[in-house]
Structures are given as structure tokens and as C-alpha cells.
Amino acid sequence: MEQQVRINDQQIRYDVSYRDIKHPRLEFKTGDLLLVLPKNFENHEGLLQKHETWIYKRESLIKTALKESEKKKLKQRTDKEFRDLVHSYIENVEETSNLQINKLFFRRMKSKWGSLSHKKNLTLNTFLKYLPKTLLEYVIYHEMAHSIEKKHNERYWKTVSKTFPDHRRIEKDLLVYWFLVQKQVT
């Protein structure tokens, strides 16, 4: 059931989902705020109040990304061109660094560009084929960096920064393209 909360004179819509989990969390994965709560959780208003600064910043970031997405264009690649580009870049990373993967999978993903399993299997979102080459390479490298550090901690970002010193800007661009893909492809 969609609800609204007022934060800094801004009405923000949100949904609540009760699940079999221990700890509540807030998500903006698809651009809309979702409160994922344990089944017996009663004070979701308190949770919103506690995290209102984060909610406001995230909502503002998303609005900016949506506006920026109007100025961007998606790349048009065939599936073969996309897969060849991916394989080529992975080979290059494996040859020039200590980052390695086990297997590579492609699938349509609802809320992320890619993931690396504990077995070092890399799964890439098929929507990456619409992104500029630099963003595609960043996502691959970002996920491969998890082969030596699972968490997004200082060691992890130090590894990523060696190849992508502008990773913060790239992360913002990925958000912009996420909304563009959602508008034009799905």
C-alpha cells in the first residue's frame, strides 16, 4: 500500500513490505522508497524519522539522475557485440591484474548491474549492452574487484581507484543510465 511522508517540505511516496527478516531496511533500488520490515515491526514512522536525512539525500540524487537521463542516449549493440566486448575486457583484466572470475553468466536483473558469487561466478545484467563502453568496463571491474574483497570497504575502493580513479562520478552515471534503461527498454 503506497503511503507518503513529508521530509524537508517534500512529499515522498513509499511502500511497505513485511517479510520474514530480522532487521528493517530502506531501499531505493528502483527509484521508489521501499521499507522492508520484519513481520512484527510496528513503528515504521519512527524508522522514517530516524533516516529522514538519508531518505532526502537519496530522493534528491534520484531526481537529479532522472533529469540527467533525458540528455543521454543508449548504445545499440547486438548481443554478440556485447558478449564479445565483455569477454575481451574480462580477459584483459585477468591478464593485467590479480582479479579472476570462475564462470560468466548473463541475465536480466531487476535491481543491479552485476554480481559476483562466493564461487567467483560473475553475473552481468543484459541491460549493460546499452551502456557506453567505459561504464560497462567499470561494472565488470567493480564486480571482479569483489574477488579479492567482498565488502565495499577502504581496501576494496583502493583496488577500484587504481583503474577507475573517477569511480564516484561513474557510479552517478550508472544511476542515470539505470533510469534511462528502465524508461526505454523495459
Residue 103: Cβ within 10 Å count: 10
Q: What is the pTM of this model?
A: 0.84
Report, as an integer, the average pLDDT of 69-74: 94
3-state SS, residue 15: strand
Q: What is the pLDDT of residue 122?
A: 98
Residue 87: Cβ within 10 Å count: 11
6, pLDDT greater than 90:
no
**Residue 156 pLDDT grade (very low, low, confident, very high; cuts 50, 70, 90):** very high
Q: How many helices (H) and strands (E) does the chain have?
A: 6, 7
For residue 171, which of 147, 152, 151 has the smallest C-alpha distance? 152
- In angstroms, rounded to a whole number, what is the distance separating the alpha carbons of residues 63 and 67? 6
C-alpha torsion sign, points 134, 140, 141, 143: positive
- In angstroms, rounded to a whole number, what is the distance separating the alpha carbons of residues 159 and 99? 10
Maximum alpha-carbon separation in the chain: 52
Report, as an integer, the average pLDDT of 6-18: 86
- In angstroms, rounded to a whole number, what is the distance separating the alpha carbons of residues 107 and 169? 26
For residue 168, which of 59, 61, 26 has the smallest C-alpha distance? 61
Q: What is the pLDDT of residue 1?
A: 62
How is the beta sheet containing 33-38 ordered, strand by strand? 3-7, 10-19, 33-38, 25-27
pLDDT tens track for 84-139? 999 999 999 999 998 999 999 999 998 899 999 999 999 999 999 999 999 999 99
